[in-house]
């Protein structure tokens, strides 16, 4: 059975545990990359990553772009917004429907 994980800064993700999701707080990019590799190798179908961490480990995340699983989805964190979550969502929508419904292309 597939699972869902939430990866990122502790303050941004602890609430997801109340929804039954497994949370994986990380302190820096290196531990974020290591945790992502571990989760991707296990039965996690969806991995949510806070946008602050996503910006730091973008190259590692890109390794999973062409794979069916896991789906890696950026979510806003409690820190400053950097646009990575919206950029990731736009990329997923273009991939799913074949065009930019946001009108940016």
* Distance in angstroms (rounded) separating the CA atoms of residues 87 and 51: 10
pLDDT confidence of residue 80: 61
* Distance in angstroms (rounded) separating the CA atoms of residues 4 and 23: 9
- Considering the entire predicted model, what is its pTM? 0.79
Average pLDDT over residues 91-95: 65
pLDDT in tens, 22-81: 999 999 999 999 999 999 999 899 999 998 999 999 999 999 988 889 999 988 887 666
Mapping DSSP to helix (H, G, I), strand (E, B) and coil, where does residue 51 land? helix
Mapping DSSP to helix (H, G, I), strand (E, B) and coil, where does residue 25 land? strand
* Distance in angstroms (rounded) separating the CA atoms of residues 69 and 3: 11
Other C-beta atoms within 10 Å of 8: how many? 28
Tell the residue number behind the tokens 């990553």, with chain if given: 49
pLDDT in tens, 49-65: 998 999 999 999 999 98
């Amino acid at each position: 059975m597939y699972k869902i994980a939430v990866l990122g800064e502790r303050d941004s993700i602890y609430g997801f545990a109340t929804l039954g999701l497994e949370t994986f707080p990380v302190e820096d990019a290196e531990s974020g990359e290591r945790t992502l590799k571990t989760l991707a190798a296990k039965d996690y179908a969806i991995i949510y990553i806070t946008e602050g961490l996503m910006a730091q480990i973008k190259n590692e995340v890109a390794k999973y772009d062409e794979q069916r699983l896991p789906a890696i989805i950026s979510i806003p964190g409690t820190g400053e917004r950097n646009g990575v979550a919206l950029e990731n969502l736009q990329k997923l929508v273009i991939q799913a429907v074949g065009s930019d419904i946001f009108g940016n292309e």
